[in-house]
Amino acid sequence: MPKPKPAAFLSYVRFDDEHEDGRLSEFRKRLSGEVRMQTGEEFPIFQDRNDISWGQNWQKRVDDSIDHSTFLICILTPGFFKSVACRREVERFVEREKKLGRGDLILAVYYVECLQLRDKKQVDKDKIAKLVSSRQYVDWRELRFEPFTSAEAGKSLAQIASQIRDALQRSPGRSKAKKPNQRAIRLDGAPKVGSAVSATLRLQMLPEAQKSSEVPAPKNEPQTRVVDSTGRGQHPSISEAVAAAGSGNRILIRPGIYREIVIVDKPLELIGDGKIEEIVIVNSTDNVVSFQTTIGRIANLTIRQEHISKFPLDSYGAVDISQGRLILENCQLFSASGAVVYVRGGAEPRIAHNNIDGAGGMPGVVVAGARGLIENNEINVKDAFGIAVSQSPAGPVLRQNTIRSNLNAVQLMRKSTSTIDGNDIGGASRGIKFTMGQKASESVGGVQ
């Protein structure tokens, strides 16, 4: 008998997908592609129970006692535990695992906070909740609000895909009996230490012996405000949302053109909720976004400063960072007159995975009396330096950037230092320039 090709079934509540504007369907599509990326084989994930292909494949694969390549992916929400269909699917799949001698073919994605998983007493009352809490799961309660293009969401999808890939390599019966000291990987979407608003993933290792009593930790979800230029959100403008927000709030910005100046003066997240090119903040009279607080995050936005000036003192940028630790990532940034991103005042941001374009004869990024990490950006400027560092004795780390400029890719001035590692500066006609006793620590092979 030919070996069945790998596949999975998505167990979820249709209302949840509709409420999220098809986000669960997009999750399925991206996970399917990521597994194919890691295995080199097509990996269909059947989704719609009303689709004839679901019924035919479900019956055949679940009843097939030699099929070790079929998975059940459960999207955990309050509705999931109340759904008769979802509960039956889990029960049926558990029976199938027992016949196969497996214990790794059900993958849970914790998507919305569930009372059934909040504490051990609640877990013990619900057979399905008890089963799920004893398994490996992926925590998407915070990533639910992240664009799929974010690094955090991409890493989580890759982790789920790697679990599937590894399970496909195991021989039958191998995953059922585990030694007491064996560890199971749990993904936790909690913020990094020192970052109140970052959703960066971290791995936690839970002892297998304790898994039966472990339940997913409750999340204190940040209050979310929705900005919609058409008036269908809580706020029609970003500035209004910032003014109304409390410290630590998350502001989701829907597609639209927002002609305004945004001053972030409290710890917040500003996240584009849609395609980057369709969420545009634009201004021509001042810096478009000014970051003036201790910590925050700006992601998945297009930010454009369109003021054209021939005078340096009359120029503005897309993002001005005057203090704190800002995570600026996955954005398209443009300035027609000033430095696209200006970092000063002892700020220590992380600027990563952005497209930074300048057309005003000013650098893509200026770091003046500050530090931070600038990595994996595409920087394109004309008649200017790609990155200029000035008066920064403990200057920034410049890593894995692609810099295109008809002048210097990097210029260090006025007693500045920088660590320059793995940057592609092939398009810069003058490479890296040091003036007035500057220093750069360059890794071996660090500049292409």
What is the pLDDT tens value at each position of the chain, 448 positions in all?
A: 455 677 888 999 999 999 888 899 999 999 999 999 999 989 988 887 655 555 566 666 665 544 566 888 999 999 999 999 899 888 888 888 888 888 888 889 999 998 888 877 888 888 898 888 777 788 898 888 888 888 788 888 998 898 888 888 875 554 443 433 333 333 333 333 333 333 333 223 223 323 333 455 555 567 889 999 998 889 999 999 999 999 889 999 999 999 999 999 999 999 999 999 999 999 988 999 999 999 999 999 999 998 776 555 557 899 999 999 999 999 999 998 889 999 999 899 999 999 999 886 788 999 999 999 999 999 999 888 889 998 888 889 999 999 998 888 888 887 788 888 888 887 655 566 555 444 555 443 334 3
pLDDT for the residue 413: 83
Whether residue 300 contacts residue 272, with contact meaning beta carbons closer than 8 Å, is answered with: yes
- Which two structure tokens, joined as six digits, stand for 357? 């374009």
Q: What DSSP character marks residue 357?
A: E
CATH 2.160.20.10 placement within the chain: 224-442
Give dist(CA 228, CA 208) in Å, integer.
46
Q: How many other C-beta atoms are found inside a 10 Å radius of the C-beta of residue 428? A: 22
The reported pTM is 0.59
The tokens for 376 are: 């994996």
Question: HSE of 238 in the Cβ direction (CA atoms, 13 Å)?
Answer: 33
Fold of 7-213: Rossmann fold (3.40.50)
Give the span between the Cα atoms of 298 and 376, in whole angstroms.
Answer: 16
The CA distance from 321 to 373, in Å, is 13
| 250's tokens | 């998350």
Contact 340, 358 (CB under 8 A): yes
Query: Which residues have CB under 8 Å from 76's CB, separation 6+?
Result: 108, 109, 110, 111, 112, 114, 117, 132, 137
Nearest Cα residue to 378 out of 345, 335, 424: 424
Contact 99, 66 (CB under 8 A): no
What confidence score (pLDDT) does residue 105 get? 84
Domain 224-442, second-level architecture: 3 Solenoid (2.160)
Span(s) in the chain for CATH 3.40.50.10140: 7-213
| Per-residue pLDDT, 191 | 34
